[in-house]
Structure 1
Amino acid sequence: MADRPRRRRTRRALLAALVTFAVAVPVSGAARPAAVPAPAPTVPGQLRDAAPGALEQRYTVSRQDIRAAGRMAAGHGDLKRAASLRAMAAPGRQFLSFDGRDGGRSVEVVGELSSARRIAVLVPGAGVGLDAYGRLRRDARALHRELDEGGAVIVWLGYRSPATVSPAALTTGRADEAAPGLRTLVDGLRAVRPAARISLLCHSYGSVICARSAPGTSADALVLYGSPGVGCDDAAALRTGARVWAGRGGGDWIARVPHVRVRVPFVATVGFGTDPVAEEFGAEVFDAGDGGHSDYLLPGSRSLTNLARIVAGAEPLGVSR
């Protein structure tokens, strides 16, 4: 019984630190780094046609947009951004859209979307962006290799990702802004591949975005992994017909984040509530192995195997419940 008051004190201390951080950092005067300039995108309209010719046109125009942004970044003196964009514009890369402004937005396809029967949409969390895009690309390729023929993976970097340690990573603000774009992408995928199975794979803060886009989504599966919570009490509150899965690696530090939601007057609601792998949340929990927060798509991992099985519509191995 002595452990229970200690746990409550620890929880209160963590919550106090969380709230203090959310309030103190915005008033500390920390400056945002100067934005890297980029031209407006020229990619044609919303995704509506998956015919090879139409997709190739989008890929070609997006490649031109990426190269133009790379030249502007180099002229601005940001050699890191310019190098990242050169890699993204390499022959064979397939981007449905690209916008280098305001931190950057991109949607990349790994595989053949025009014939895909199973489509996985990777929704990344905090601390990602164009300058560290290589990691997202590696994860997408690892998942694509795990899928059998007929699978395609889409990397959706459709929002300004918050820094991992930042007030923006503690509230739903960025997710609220991002959710309509994710919903539009899923609607477009459903329009061009109506018979395909579509799964949203939502990592960390990306799970908050997926939750915000979930009501009425045409996705078949919603997979929350490495999640701090999604801003609602349970899976029923997502108001989705998609099958909801949740998993967390045994070495993931996100398990130590307090699963609370607290309204800070005149600021925001801080925290994301119920742990998605908790029984009371009501998701189907899959075995995500023993990896850490960035290890879910590592080749050979149990988490990668099970994520691929969920994308394929198969039951994951070692289901917890």
Structure 2
Amino acid sequence: MHRFKRTLAAFAMVASVVGGTAGWASAGAQSAVTGPPPGAAAWRSEGLIDPATATPSQVAAFFAGLDERRRDDLVRRHPLTVGNLDGAPVALRYAANRAALAADGRFARLLAPGRQILAFDPRGRGQVAEVYGDLTRARHVSVVVPGSDIDASTYDRAKDPYGTPAGMAKSLRGATRPGSTAVVAWVGYTTPVGVGVDAASGALAEAGAERLSRFVAGLDAVGVDDPAVFCHSYGSVVCGLAAPRLDAADIVALASPGMRVDDAADLRTGARVWAAKDPTDWIDNVPNVQVLGVGHGADPASASFGARRIPTAGAHGHTGYFAPGTDSLRAFAAIAEGRT
């Protein structure tokens, strides 16, 4: 009976979206940022490797064939392209993004000493990826993929820190043994804003899945081992769609509305699949069905899904999973360090 009521609720949700409230719900619909990095046209005009068609491994080979002077010249003249080019050397991307951020001027806080910005794309609401730790030397690497309402302005906000990818990344790294891990807070896709059509559909997640899989392939191209990928809320929809082509050691779905598959086997991944959902999380009230393209399917934290369950004692609400002292954070740290 409980499941039947949830299914009826799903149909009611669909009716409200496609019926009289559709105009309101879609008024703030987001246009996904896709395609090659900004500045790609000017880059291509010089006969350089095409960012739209080259694989990350080809990008890595391209830069390996350049001397230091030529690399520095490309950073100086094409910072937005180099800084967002998956497969480019990590140190070069840091330098390029410092230059791009200085020229942009809107995100001066990201230029603070010690910050390592692996990607900065000013298009749309802004996208960013920041590294905590030594990405090229750490034995283990994790990537945090956020859900709704996250962009370059909000990904490291002080309010509700464990609900932001920067806060999650810092907390995760702090829970691991010193020097053992590096964590990337990745805001590399256009996230939904609020609760509406974008959050209930898979369109933004599909665009994000392509960007996530390419980003992780870029890590592999510069010698970083397969990461553990922590996917929060709508970010787990992104990870679910990316899973078949995502070179990850672990995929962790937390606070998930669904991954757009019926069970873990349907993800078609060789990664270990984990799930965490606390009873106090409001996401538990979201119907786990797909109707007319709305909704994200089965609950990854259900026993029938087949993921490895993560304990959540001490966590509270939708954004409490990375809070210090929680069972979930302790489990995340073990996964991040490969202690599974």
Q: Which of the five TM-score ranges fits, normalised by the shorter chain?
A: 0.7 to 0.9
In the alignment, which residue of structure 2 is the partner of 1:226?
255
Distance in 2 between the 1:175 and 1:9 partners?
A: 27
2:124 paired residue among 92, 102, 117: 102
Aligned length: 284
User: Is 1:65 aligned to residue 103 of structure 2?
Assistant: no
> Could you tell me which of 275, 296, 312 is aligned with 1:272?
296
Pick aligned residue for 1:18 from 9, 13, 19: 13
Using the TM superposition, give the Cα deviation of residue 192 of structure 1 relative to its aligned residue in structure 2, in angstroms: 2.0
Task: Report matched runs for 1:136-285 at 5 Å.
Answer: 136-148=165-177, 149-194=179-224, 196-263=225-292, 269-285=293-309
Q: Which amino acid aligns with 1:27?
A: G
How far apart, in 2, do the equivalents of 1:175 and 1:140 lie? 21
Equivalent position SS for 2:208: helix
- Counterpart check, 1:123 vs 2:145: yes
Distance in 2, matches of 1:94 and 1:131, equals 16
Q: Which amino acid aligns with 2:91?
A: E
Distance 1:279 1:21 in 2: 31
Aligned to 2:154: 132
DSSP 3-state at the match of 1:115: coil
Greater alpha carbon shift after TM alignment, 270-279 vs 134-143: 134-143
Residue aligning to 1:76: none
Mapped contact 1:217–1:241 kept (Cα < 8 A): no
Q: Give the distance between the partners of 2:215 and 2:262, measured in 1 at CA.
A: 26
C-alpha RMSD over aligned residues:
2.3
Q: Cα gap change, 1:17/1:163 in structure 2, threshold over 3 Å: closer, same or farther? A: farther
In the alignment, structure 2 segments of 5+ residues that lack a partner are 32-37, 40-78, 157-163
Moved over 4 A (4+): 29-35
Q: Are the counterparts in 1 of residues 30 and 190 from structure 2 also a CA contact under 8 Å?
A: no
- Which ranges in structure 1 are unaligned for 5 or more consecutive residues? 71-81, 264-268, 316-321
Q: Kindly provide the CA deviation profile for residues 58-79 of structure 1, in whole angstroms up to 9, marking residues without a partner as x.
A: 1121122123223xxxxxxxxx
Aligned AA (1:142): S
Pair 1:284–1:8, CA change in 2 (3 A): closer
Query: Is 102-111 or 226-235 further displaced after alignment?
Result: 102-111
CA apart distance, 1:153? 0.3
Following superposition, the deviation at residue 57 of structure 1 comes to 2.5
Contact 2:276–2:310 under 8 Å retained in 1: yes
CA contact (8 A) 1:227 1:248 kept: yes
Residues 285 and 154 (structure 1), Cα distance of their counterparts in 2 relative to 1, 3 Å cut: same
Offset from partner CA, 1:117-160 (integer Å, 9 cap, x none) = 11110000112112212133222111111122220000110111
Task: Summarize deviations over 1:42-89 as a string: whole Å, max 9, x none.
Answer: 24163436xxxx43321121122123223xxxxxxxxxxx3xx12122
Is 2:145–2:165's contact at 8 Å kept on the other side of the alignment?
no
Are residues 276 and 9 of structure 1, via their aligned partners in 2, closer, same or farther at CA, if it must alter by over 3 Å? closer
Specify the SS of the correspondent of 1:131. coil
Q: CA deviation at 1:197?
A: 4.7
| Contact 1:104 1:129 (C-alpha < 8 Å) held by counterparts | yes
32 and 165 in structure 1: CA distance in 2 versus 1, 3 angstrom threshold = closer
1:56 maps to which of 75, 86, 91: 91
